[in-house]
Amino acid sequence: MTIRSIEIRRAHIELVAPFQTSFGVETDRNLLYVRVLGDDAEGWGECVAMTDPLYSSEYVDGCEDVLRRYLVPCVHANSTLESVMAAMSSFRGNYMAKAALEAALLDYFCRVDGVSLASRLGATQSRVASGVSVGIQPTIDALLEVVAGYLRDGYVRIKLKIEPGRDVERVRAVREAFGNSMLLQVDANAAYRVEDARHLAQLDEFDLLLIEQPLPEEDLVGNVELARQVRTPICLDESITTIEVARGALDIGACSIINIKPGRVGGYLEAKKIHDLCFERGVPVWCGGMLETGIGRAANLALAALPGFTLPGDTSASKRYFTRDVTEPFELREGYIDVPNGPGIGVAPIAAILDEMTSRIDTIAVPS
């Protein structure tokens, strides 16, 4: 049970279609994987940071730098998960970088113990209801076509990305085309200001499940005012970076639903804590996504199998993102995706595929 080295691997994969949000357009994923290598097992983690700091302040080259300078040196040959987490906690922020190393260690230690990540986290579901996040489309007709395709695939919930100027009319068009019974929600990625409250209240007539992250990450209190003027439940994504922020946001009434993304909160253990808090309070949560490949997706599915994840997540099938995933592809079956139940995250990269995508591998020896 000795850790020998940590590998940092950089790779690249194209998305099947450009993904536009209020903060930018993604056409590919600039990948960073962390691999923990020990005597009897190995573990994989995927960093969710994007190329540029547009979703949050983190970006993938920055995460690599933080991992090399500060986080990887927290690991020793005989480290436990707890000892590494304690050492990393001295460093502020850098949630996505921490989460990538934590994920690789969790996969590694679960494999050493012969348990699945799902059971380690306390999963109670063997499959997870799957929603899909629909990027901002150039026209309403294009949007209706994309949504129709995802409904044919069997997705049980549609999330529309919105921004000022492409919001109310888009939602109205989707409701008119597909009816009121479809589960529908929107995600603004922080594109509005609290002064837009009356505008956003026009969304109330469409019976949305929630409006995700309407205001800037830091404007937690703005949501309290917004919630007074808008009936649609407010769900926070970007703003929720720790359990303390989650507790405070719920206490002041800044949101009534939370999108839990392990990468955004510094890892799966913090994500579980936020889940547990929400579960205790009867606050619904769902598992967000960051366009992960199979490595990150497998771990997210394990988390999404916890009992408090009562809303469908952005845990879509591999082919919604990539022509060829780095693991065996995750597939949608009647709107659900199976939670992997093998040891650790239950999947591993297919070497021939990953090697082809890889641009650089650095192996860092772990001190005894």
Q: Which residues bind ligand OSB (CB under 6 A)?
A: 55, 133, 187, 189, 237, 288-291, 314, 316
Shortest reach from residue 189's CB to ligand OSB, in Å:
5
133 binds, among Mg ion, ligand OSB, none (CB under 5 to 8 A by kind): ligand OSB
Judged by beta carbon, residue 114 or residue 164, the one nearer Mg ion is: 164
Q: Which residues lie near Mg ion (CB under 5 A)? A: 187, 212, 237
The single residue of 98, 261, 272, 273 carrying the catalytic annotation is 261
Residue 291's binding partner among ligand OSB, Mg ion, none (Cβ under 5 to 8 angstroms by kind) is ligand OSB
Closer to ligand OSB at the Cβ: 232 or 316?
A: 316
272 catalytic, yes or no?
A: no
Burial 6-44 (b: 16+ CB within 10 A, else e): bbbbbbebebeeebbbbbeebeebbbbbbbbbbeebbbb
Q: How far is the CB of 287 from ligand OSB (least distance, A)?
A: 10
Instruction: Return the number of the residue (196 or 212) whose C-beta is nearest Mg ion.
Output: 212
CA 115 from centre of chain: 23
Q: Can you list the positions of beta strands (E) in 97-226?
A: 127-129, 131-134, 157-161, 183-187, 211-212
Least CB distance to ligand OSB at residue 150 (A): 11
Nearer to ligand OSB, 3 or 132 (CB): 132
Name 77's Cβ contacts closer than 8 Å, sequence gap at least 6.
2, 3, 4, 366, 367, 368
| The one catalytic residue among 98, 159, 161, 272 | 161
Please give the Cα distance from 264 to 103 (Å, whole number).
13
**Interacting partner of 290 out of Mg ion, ligand OSB, none (Cβ under 5 to 8 A depending on kind):** ligand OSB
Measured in whole angstroms, the distance separating CA 25 from the mean position of its chain's CA atoms is: 17
Provide the 8-state DSSP code for 266: T
> What's the closest the beta carbon of residue 15 comes to ligand OSB, in angstroms?
10
- Nearest residue to ligand OSB, by Cβ distance, number only: 289
Phi and psi angles of residue 64, each rounded to the nearest 5 degrees, phi first:
-60, -40
291 vs 366 by CB, closer to ligand OSB: 291
* Binding partner selected for residue 289 from Mg ion, ligand OSB, none, CB under the kind-specific 5 to 8 Å limit: ligand OSB
Please give the residue whose beta carbon sits closest to Mg ion in the complex.
237
The item of Mg ion, ligand OSB, none sharing an interface with residue 343, based on CB under 5 to 8 Å by kind, is: none
Kindly state the smallest distance separating residue 296's Cβ from ligand OSB, in Å.
9
Kindly state the smallest distance separating residue 197's Cβ from ligand OSB, in Å: 21
Nearer to Mg ion, 107 or 219 (CB): 219
The span from the CA of 145 to the CA of 166, in Å, is: 16
Determine how many CB atoms are found less than 10 A away from the CB of residue 142. 11
E strands present in the chain: 3-21, 24-38, 42-46, 127-129, 131-134, 157-161, 183-187, 211-212, 234-236, 257-260, 285-287, 336-338, 358-365
Known catalytic membership, residue 319: no
What does the alpha-carbon distance between residue 368 and residue 366 come to, in Å, rounded to a whole number?
7
> What does the block give as tokens for 150?
């995802």
**Are 287 and 121 spatial neighbours (Cβ–Cβ below 8 Å)?**
no
Residue 300 binds which entry of Mg ion, ligand OSB, none, with Cβ cut-offs from 5 to 8 Å by kind?
A: none
Active site residues: 161, 261
